Structures are given as structure tokens and as C-alpha cells.
Amino acid sequence: MSPDIEALIRKISGLPGLGPRSARRIVIHLIKNREQVMEPILNGLENLYKNVKICPICSNVDSFSAICSICSDENRIKDTICIVESVADLWAVERTACFHGQYHVLKGLLSSMEGRGPEFLMLDQLQRRCEKNKVSEIIIALSATLEGQTTSHYIKDFFKNKNIKITMLAHGIPVGGELDYLDDGTLFAAFSARN
């Protein structure tokens, strides 16, 4: 194997979910399909590399304009902001098409283990935005993990007495989930929040 190809495989194997074996398969697939597969991916990556921008308002990524397509969409509701952990989570919420407001993407969850403090939440910036746009509701849509819940409560505390409704995603049985296979915590939450 030529050193160039070896170096590329090493780099690709560091991507999330990939290892040396899958990286080799991908590189061979690219080599075998130089025009049909490698060229479009190469052009797409080049385009992304040149044009990707982080929105200064909500920290979403976009490849067109400085202000992202969600913040600049005149048809979206301005007075509701949904807080998500990452752009991946923003995309997940967008796929449900059940939310038509604005977003606030965190730089990460609070974590004393990994040294992430409140500055990763950019709450001052969010508060200024709330005041400017007369935001009436903040939806905290963070994972139901320890770090996610700690961060949720920190944010809830921060906005206490600021005249903004703070809501969190409901906990309960996943749609399609069978009771028998649920963990105790989820079943307990589903019982507590019964309606």
C-alpha cells in the first residue's frame, strides 16, 4: 500500500463509527468508483470546507449565508426558542417538523469530568436574545442523561424569575415501546407523568 493511501485510511479511520477495516473498505470503494463516487464526495467536501459557517445567533451550521436558514426564515415563530445540545439534535428536531420556532445550540453539556462549565451554554447571549425578541417560551430539549439533566436544571435555574416559561421534553414510554422491555427509570417517569 502506498504511504499516501495508508495516511488517508488512517485519517478516515478516526471518524466517528469507523475503524481501520471500514476505512480500508471505504477507500477501496472510492478508488474503484473514482468518477461516480469519489468525485461527487470530493466536490461536496470541498464545497462544505469552503462555505460552512456557524450562525452567530443560534450556532447552527449552514453553508449558504452567515445567518442560518432557520434564523433568517421569516415564516418561523420568533418568540419560542428550543435549546439543543448539538447540530445533530437540531436536525433531529427539524425532521419531526413539529417545531417552528428558533434554536439555541449549546457548545456542549455541563461536565465537571471534561471541564465544561456554564460558558459552554452561552446563556447571557441567549438572555439578550430573549429580551430583544420578547421570547415567551424556552423549550429545553436535552438528552435524558445525567449531564443532560444537570444542564437542563442549570438552565431552568438561570431563567427563574425572568418571566419566561421554561418547558422540558416529556419523559415516558417511547412510541412503539413495550412495557416489558423498559428500564425501571423510564417506567417510573411514565407513571409519575401520567395524564
CB of 6 to its own copies, least distance (A): 9
CA distance 14 to 49: 18
Residue (8 or 190) nearer to its own copies, CB: 8
Instruction: Find the shortest distance in angstroms from Cβ 36 to its own copies.
Output: 10
Contacts with its own copies by CB under 8 A lie at 1-2, 4-5, 7-8, 11-12, 14-18, 22, 24-31, 34, 37-42, 44-49, 51-52, 61-64, 69, 86-88, 91, 94
- 88/170 with CB nearer its own copies: 88
53: phi then psi, degrees, rounded to nearest 5: -135, 150
Alpha carbon of residue 51 to chain centroid: 20
In the bound state with its own copies, the residue whose beta carbon lies nearer, of 14 and 118, is 14
CA–CA distance, 50 with 16 (Å, rounded to integer)? 22
The beta strand positions in 34-193, using DSSP E, are 53-54, 61-62, 80-84, 102-105, 137-140, 165-168
Distances (CA, A) of 168 to 81, 107, 119, 156: 12, 19, 21, 9
Least Å from the CB of residue 34 to its own copies: 7
| CB nearer its own copies, residue 105 or residue 130 | 105
Q: How far is the CB of 192 from its own copies (least distance, A)?
A: 31
